[in-house]
Amino acid sequence: MIGQHRFNPWIFAGDLVVANMQIGAVLWHRLAAPQTSVERARMISEKVAAASSGVFETQKAALRLSRDISLGKVSATRMACAPAELGAAASKPALKTVKANAKRLGKRSAKKVK
């Protein structure tokens, strides 16, 4: 894979663990205070955007994988990790959104406490 980093399923698993904690923080902040209509609209639009980006990233990863298979560049290890590689590509935009939400909502809660 020239110009690309190798997929590591252990890093992906770690990312999912961190996302799980961030999802908890986001839910805590959202359930602790009533949401404005602006915040509700933002939540919905972020989810739609993350899902669309996930589909697009998965398609790109699948095309790269099929290209590499056609060229004979795929090892047995990469072939075994292919489903996880596609899953990581699909979930990357959602994980990024969850991280940004946890950070944003955490700052907003800190301002309310002051």
Look at residue 47 and tell me whether its pLDDT is greater than 60: yes
The upper half-sphere exposure of residue 54, i.e. CA atoms within 13 Å in the direction of its Cβ, equals 16
Q: What is the mean pLDDT of residues 3-22?
A: 80
Per the model's pLDDT, the better-predicted residue between 44 and 109 turns out to be 44
Model confidence pLDDT, tens digit, residues 49-90 = 999 999 999 999 999 999 999 999 989 888 888 999 999 999
Q: Is the pTM of this model over 0.75?
A: no
Helix 37-70 with 76-113: angle, nearest 10 deg: 160
> How far from 38 is each of 41, 45, 104, CA to CA, in Å?
5, 11, 14
Q: How would residue 3 be classed by pLDDT, with cut points 50, 70 and 90?
A: very low
Give the separation between CA 64 and CA 74, rounded to whole angstroms. Answer: 11
Amino acid, single-letter form, for residue 63: L
Give pLDDT, residue 86: 92
Distance in Å from the first CA to the final CA of the chain: 50
